[in-house]
Amino acid sequence: MAQAPGIVRITAPNASAYTFTGTNSFLLGEERLALVDPGPVDVMHAAALEKAIAGRPVDCILLTHTHRDHSASASRWAKGLGAPLWFGGPHRLSRPLRRFECNPIRRSCDWDLVPDRTLQDGQSIMAGDMEIVVHATPGHCANHLAFGIAGTPILLSGDHVMGWNSTLVSVPDGAMADYLASLDKVVALPYETYLPAHGGPIADGPAYARALKAHRQMRNGQVLEAIGRGEQTLGAIVDVIYPTQPAKVRLAARMTMMAHVEYLEGLGLLEVRRGFFGMRLALTPTGRNQV
């Protein structure tokens, strides 16, 4: 599906509670192409990409990040097309693991993928026959990038700003402080239309990003209020804020609520006591003044 001159979207058939209708791959260029986020290993998706490429040379494969719904087929495409892989460095955590901690989405991460070229924040590159500006947007994960189409109002926003839901931020893979800072960053960039990796185009991207930040600030307030009323565990907070959501949604909510807790702890608003059997949460004196 053409999104703009020289930009074609092909959506993978991997719909789920976490991917909406599927992961969007993009072809950038007219005569020479760049392939962005080739997506999962899937025969139907591969055939759709081959048809859209239509025999044109592919100069590079770009990844917004290394979660496997975006990157699992990247090595195959790189080998098959003879195209180098460019992205923001190998997958890495936003902070070190704590004792007894695991990364809850570790199986969704492409740990072994290594770029042929590590892209840097602010650099301009030729991708196919289009000029792309690289913007580091950590938060959803540490190596997340967005790609601005130079000379246009279009930003490929990856999973940082999605067209159907707020972004999963799962610590320690991601970080809420980074995510909020990256929202401020994209709002200040000179792009109006966002093309996300899940969902359709976002006509007023900066307004949508500001709304996402307001939503996260609201959730911060709800966490503080729940703890102020006596809730002491993460599970209890999820029950208060998401009382009727289905199990898969509540699992994602629990991960993002953990990111909110760490963010509020970092601001000095929460005291978090961690043990082998979980956490106990309490407001600090500063946090009590916020409720």
Other Cβ atoms less than 10 A from the Cβ of 275: the count is 8
Q: Count Cβ neighbours within 10 Å for each residue of 105-143 and write b for 16 or more, e otherwise.
A: beebbbeebebeeebeeeeebebbbbebbbbbbbbbbbb
Predicted TM-score (pTM) above 0.85? yes
**60 touches 134 (CB < 8 A):** no
pLDDT tens-digit profile, the chain (291 residues): 757 789 999 999 999 988 999 999 999 999 999 999 999 999 999 999 999 999 999 999 999 999 999 999 999 999 999 999 999 999 999 999 998 899 999 999 999 999 999 999 999 999 999 999 999 999 999 999 999 999 999 999 999 999 888 999 999 999 999 999 999 999 999 999 999 999 999 999 999 999 999 999 999 999 999 999 999 999 999 999 998 888 778 888 899 999 999 999 999 999 999 987 789 999 999 999 887
Nearest 5°: phi and psi at 164?
-140, -20
Half-sphere exposure of 257 (CA within 13 A, CB side): 23
**234 touches 278 (CB < 8 A):** yes
| CA end-to-end span of the chain | 48
Cis peptide, bond prior to residue 172, ω within 30 of zero: yes
Q: What does each C-alpha distance from 44 to 8, 20, 89 come to in angstroms?
A: 17, 18, 28
Q: What does each C-alpha distance from 37 to 26, 66, 263 come to in angstroms?
A: 7, 9, 29
What is the rounded CA–CA span in Å between residue 253 and residue 248?
A: 9
Q: Which domains does the chain have, with CATH numbers?
A: 2-203 (3.60.15.10), 213-288 (1.10.10.10)
